Structure 1
Amino acid sequence: MDIAANTIQTLGFAGQIFTGCLNGFQAWQTASDLSRDAIELQIKLEWTRSRLDMWGTLWGLEQQDHLKDSRFRHFGMMALNHLVYINYCLEEFKSMDDIFPTLGDAGMYASTPAFSLARLSQSGGVTPDEMDALRYKLEHLQTNAGAKERAKWALQEGRALKMVETVKAMVEDLYTQFPPPASSEPNPIIKNSYLISDSLDNLDAVSESSTADTTLAALCAVKAERIRTGLEKRTDKLKSHDPYMIAGQLTQEREVTEGRWLGSFRQDNVSYRVPVLIEYKRMPRLVMATSSLDIRIQNVARLLSMKNKPAELRTLNCIGVMVARNNETVYRFVHELKAKNVFTLTHLLKTPTRENVAGSHRDKWALDQKFALAKQLTRAVLYLHLAGWLHKGIRSNNIVFCAGDESDVDLSEPYIVGFEYSRVDLARLETETVDQTDDTDDAFRHPDTQGPPTERAEFQRIFDVYSLGMVLLDIGSKRSVGNLRVKFAAQNATRGGWAAAAFRKWLLETAIDSDVTGLAARMGSVYVEVVKACLSGKFTERYKNDVSVGLYVNVLRRLQQCNV
């Protein structure tokens, strides 16, 4: 019993040692004025750090959640040894043969997960004295050493590369031997400090790196351009084209929904036309080209037109924006289509009626396609936020699918449109207030974004997540969100009728768990909990109120468990 108790007590320090590891990476992150080779090493090391950070987050090391898992209780000392040694590698460059092998010797110990784990486990020959010595070193880290000088010296000796490869192998060992609960491929991008930062130098370094993860590089490029568009002196630094400089012939052919048309566009000096989607934004006044509204629309179009934006954003390529200024100002966003027709999610999921018994309806689509759609949309919102943008209008009629015919629609290939109110995740003044929308559109919006403009909260990421939850509900429920709104308003007629906050409470406490939506029977209990997490917004506290981490762990990662 004493041995078991001591083991559990020791494992309880895993959270502290894990935090020490993350702190150990920071010395390398803060080094500046390095050569290109050193910068590439920093990028590689940060990718490894973010993977380790995500591993610890998913295990809940800082909250002691790992102690609830039988694997960790029985074999956790091996993981603990890994964390201690990773810290050792990060903080010590000189050989210390009296305590542990040199970095050169240590490289071979991580050649295979089984061998490296055995070498570092108690049964593999690491004595308690060695462990005590390593823990002593952990408590006396050299935090004031010059990172720049150390990095240059280590590069010259070739030891930095060995250290990076050793640490990388150790982290991959942890994933192999201690895969986080609810296993699916963890995404270290969410924890990557380069992407989280607002440093143009760091973002550009990653976006231009040939060794960086391609999705991370693309997201960094989008975020860097977002930052550039906010700089006062920026004309010669922007890497996207001016969307107002659109030269060609635009033809409108058919209205799809209000303010949204199908058409074709032929660029000057090109003989062929391409199918396009045209989205209108009308302002009932003259908007000057120097106004913040006009600049915001231009910046949104710039980002939507970037050629190297990640495909996971699920946005169409914006060819440009045409502007007509008179007594009113009309903006026309021109998006290139993958096919000659588009269908909104609202149209594809419409509830059967007496007039539409044989048409498209909510039970037409296979369950695996619905799950694929939910994952794609969640990932798109997550990546949009990571790039520093808020959508502000996520709802089913702003989700479109490109296909020649309705029978050719693939639900796993959605595109998000309706960016007319989108803005950077910064000052509220950069966007105008949503004036009036359709009743059904209102049902997708967070209660705090409704009511008189003076009473509305400043838009936050969590409000986009709420709207995402409503879309997920719309995908899985036997009733559309519009139908649910009408049903609630009728039931609540004697208590004031429609009220956004009361509607959310009714969904969370009654409708989602009942036959009103039939969500559990149609989509499963995991999907139900995902929808509730989005609507309640109570999933960020354990992640230091980081909405992106919470969205990944409690929504996207759980959706990845939903399979047919």
Structure 2
Amino acid sequence: MAAELIGTTVGVIGFLGQLFDGCVKAYGYFTAAAHLDTDSQRLMCKVRIEEMRLVVWGREWGVAEGRLEAHLRGEQNPQLRRLAIQIMQELHETVTDFKKLQGRYGLCEDGDGGGGNAQANGHEPEMPSPAAAAATSPSPSLSKKGSSADETSRPGRFKTERGWRKEWGLRTRWVIADKDKFTTLLRDLKDFNDGLERLFPPSQLPSFQRAWTHRLLDSAQRDLAQLSLLETASSGTYPQLNASANLKRLRINLDSRPQSAFRPTLALKVPRSSLTINPPVATAPPAHRQQKQGDGGSGGSGGSGSRGTRPPTPPADLRRCQGHHDTAGDVVVEWVDYDRDAIEERVAHVRRMDDLARMMHSASRCHPDLHSIDCLGYTDDAANSRYGLVYKAPASSYSTLHALISSPDLKTPDLDDRIRLAHTLAVALWSLHSLDWLHKSLCSFNITFFPSAFCAAAHAPTATAALVPDVSNPYLIGFDASRPDTDTALSVVPKNPSIDSIHRHPASARGLPYCKAFDVYSLGLVLLEIGLWKVLQAYHRPQHSADRWRDKVVMAVLVPGLGSKVGKRYRETVEMCLQADEHMSNAEAAKIMGRVVSTLESIRV
């Protein structure tokens, strides 16, 4: 698995690259073991977690390509390079020292007694190729080019190609003989990875940790047994992986449950009588209020032909409203209409509501990267023929990102605050996708801030600060239209198509099955709005088809003007998102999201 993920080849560069390549190949002899008992499977899964941490660390640093070596040589602190070499050498020795693996760490060769039989499947173990074996020992050219003495002077540290082939041929696959001793190996492997992680700048660590967590979730795919194993193996050590595996397993269980077996979750049914619903309010300031020139608000980033103009005022928000629950307090309710005479459709709606409520219940606590609101459950407003998802609101009022950008009374937030907002939203979508879940309605209208900007202004320290909205803590909502990655069931039609359709991929408008790439495209448009600090409705015209809107307005006019406002790297990130199309696989979309998150995380203003 690891060799496939990192793509190690005979072309590894540098001393650290050779060490890394050898460690990755040696890890494979642990994680390829088969027919283990339950406890041994859990222990081997812990090894697989550490293997993935190493693989993603090497990929992010470009170890095999020599980028880490070049970076460390260019550092003013030579101790950092020596530390990296020391950690990698000790890790390499740990996973390749056969006597230590047997004596100290409780492993034995397959067939010597232990918890499993790796050859029981009838396949001979795959031996490293000569090129792979050579990659694990220092090449003559490396030594001649002046490797430091501390890298190569210790005798017997690395074996020749012939020695590696012989040893690996004898040892084949390892199995666990002493589980108590094996936990010492797990602790040492974790310590090595912790040390390597510290080579990253602190600001990049969260993105790196998300990367290996998501890769592990992706590698498990939709295998419930593997997800359960990840959940138990990460318990007490990696809480984020534990929570993510649990949520993904829950989602797959819900998705695979036949309709005939569905039973509503009574604990999530919110009686309509326990809710007091506030009347709907307009989602933007009145249309007669003109944009003030030079106020730094939504008109400050205008495009051709739109300076000083206001987009049309959206109608009152009939899809979402605020209210009060008898015991939970302030709530936000998102509504889905139904036909009371269409029984099958109503049952399908109830199941969708029940599944979403179970997924989102306490998700904000278990998985903070989703930036979601805790869901109390769902209600049936029979008098108005609609179901509602009920969320516990962090405050009694909120503003949408669309409203903040549109308001003529608010100034544009600082650039670094907007970049952090973009990064937070990218993390939320990346995390949602790691659970094989699609949002399908990502737009500035479905991004909220609590309390509303106007309520928050009352507590601002100065009059100037009151005019700048706080965008540091967004919440992603609109999950009434979200779907599992594999879902082909009914689709809930958005109640505000004038907003949602602008953010949809043209291929989605043509009716093609929704995929992760379409969410990535929608994110790109949201990032574009954040960069320009102007809503896209200001540029959209009714005669624009979906393709013309993307090709002739967004890509040809708006994106090129983005660099002068937010910088080249931000503009390139937006372009990366907007180039996502229907031909992109989910795996490719995941890679793009990883790059988007890491790029936004690294931008410094």
Q: Normalized against structure 1, the TM-score is what?
A: 0.75
Identity within the alignment, %: 22
Match of 1:137 among 156, 164, 172: 164
Deviates more, 1:164-173 or 1:329-338: 164-173
- Native 8 Å contact 1:345 1:399 kept in 2: yes
Does the alignment pair 1:219 with 2:244? yes
In the aligned structure 2, how far is the partner of 1:504 from the partner of 1:139? 59
Match of 1:513 among 560, 571, 578: 560
- Native 8 Å contact 1:296 1:431 kept in 2: no
Give 1:293 deviation, angstroms: 4.3
In the aligned structure 2, how far is the partner of 1:337 from the partner of 1:384? 20
Give 1:399 deviation, angstroms: 0.6
- The answer for the alignment partner of 1:527 in structure 2 is 570
- The answer for the alignment partner of 1:297 in structure 2 is 353
Give 1:53 deviation, angstroms: 1.8
Q: Is the alpha carbon distance of 1:240 and 1:535 closer, same or farther for their aligned partners in structure 2, counting shifts above 3 Å?
A: farther
In the aligned structure 1, how far is the partner of 2:264 from the partner of 2:178? 35
Q: Is the alpha carbon distance of 1:211 and 1:339 closer, same or farther for their aligned partners in structure 2, counting shifts above 3 Å?
A: same
Give 1:413 deviation, angstroms: 1.1
Match of 2:548 among 469, 481, 502: 502
Give 1:41 deviation, angstroms: 4.0
- The answer for the alignment partner of 1:364 in structure 2 is 412
SS at structure 1 position matched to 2:590: helix
- The answer for the alignment partner of 1:110 in structure 2 is none
In the aligned structure 1, how far is the partner of 2:96 from the partner of 2:262? 38
- Native 8 Å contact 1:423 1:431 kept in 2: no
Superposed counterparts of 1:93-492, under 5 Å? 93-95=98-100, 122-123=149-150, 126-127=153-154, 130-133=157-160, 136-137=163-164, 141=168, 150-151=175-176, 153-156=177-180, 158=181, 160-176=182-198, 179=200, 183-192=204-213, 194-196=216-218, 197=220, 198-207=222-231, 210-232=235-257, 242-244=267-269, 246=271, 249-256=274-281, 257-267=317-327, 274-284=329-339, 286-288=342-344, 291-306=347-362, 309-324=366-381, 329-350=385-406, 352=408, 359-360=409-410, 363-403=411-451, 406-408=454-456, 410-427=470-487, 429-432=488-491, 434=493, 437-451=496-510, 456-486=511-541
Superposed counterparts of 1:68-83, under 5 Å? 69=70, 71=72
Letter in 1 for 2:51: R
Deviates more, 1:70-79 or 1:45-54: 70-79
Q: Is the alpha carbon distance of 1:379 and 1:154 closer, same or farther for their aligned partners in structure 2, counting shifts above 3 Å?
A: same
Give 1:287 deviation, angstroms: 4.0
Q: Is the alpha carbon distance of 1:221 and 1:121 closer, same or farther for their aligned partners in structure 2, counting shifts above 3 Å?
A: farther
Q: Output one character per residue of 1:164-215: Cα deviation in whole Å (capped at 9) or x when no partner.
A: 23333333444445x4899554433433465231343443455455423222
Deviates more, 1:369-378 or 1:466-475: 369-378
- The answer for the alignment partner of 1:547 in structure 2 is 589
- Native 8 Å contact 2:16 2:63 kept in 1: no
Letter in 1 for 2:243: A
SS at structure 2 position matched to 1:230: helix
- Native 8 Å contact 2:376 2:392 kept in 1: yes
In the aligned structure 1, how far is the partner of 2:223 from the partner of 2:428? 23
Q: Is the alpha carbon distance of 1:263 and 1:433 closer, same or farther for their aligned partners in structure 2, counting shifts above 3 Å?
A: closer
In the aligned structure 1, how far is the partner of 2:546 from the partner of 2:90? 53
In the aligned structure 1, how far is the partner of 2:565 from the partner of 2:423? 17
Q: Where does the alignment leave 5 or more consecutive residues of structure 1 unmatched?
A: 1-5, 105-119, 268-272, 353-358, 490-496
Q: CA RMSD in A?
A: 4.2
Q: Output one character per residue of 1:85-106: Cα deviation in whole Å (capped at 9) or x when no partner.
A: 6466346653499xxx9779xx
Give 1:46 deviation, angstroms: 3.4
- Native 8 Å contact 1:473 1:531 kept in 2: yes
Letter in 2 for 1:503: W
In the aligned structure 1, how far is the partner of 2:12 from the partner of 2:514? 47
Give 1:260 deviation, angstroms: 1.4
Q: Is the alpha carbon distance of 1:388 and 1:463 closer, same or farther for their aligned partners in structure 2, counting shifts above 3 Å?
A: same
Q: Which has the higher contact order (CA 8 A, sep 6+)?
A: 2
Q: Output one character per residue of 1:373-416: Cα deviation in whole Å (capped at 9) or x when no partner.
A: 11211111111111221110000000111116525263111111
Letter in 2 for 1:258: L
Give 1:16 deviation, angstroms: 5.0
Give 1:263 deviation, angstroms: 0.9
- Native 8 Å contact 2:19 2:89 kept in 1: no
Q: Normalized against structure 2, the TM-score is what?
A: 0.70
- Native 8 Å contact 1:14 1:61 kept in 2: no
Residues matched between the structures, number: 497
In the aligned structure 1, how far is the partner of 2:480 from the partner of 2:448? 15
SS at structure 2 position matched to 1:392: coil
- The answer for the alignment partner of 1:116 in structure 2 is none
In the aligned structure 1, how far is the partner of 2:389 from the partner of 2:259? 23
- Native 8 Å contact 1:345 1:397 kept in 2: yes
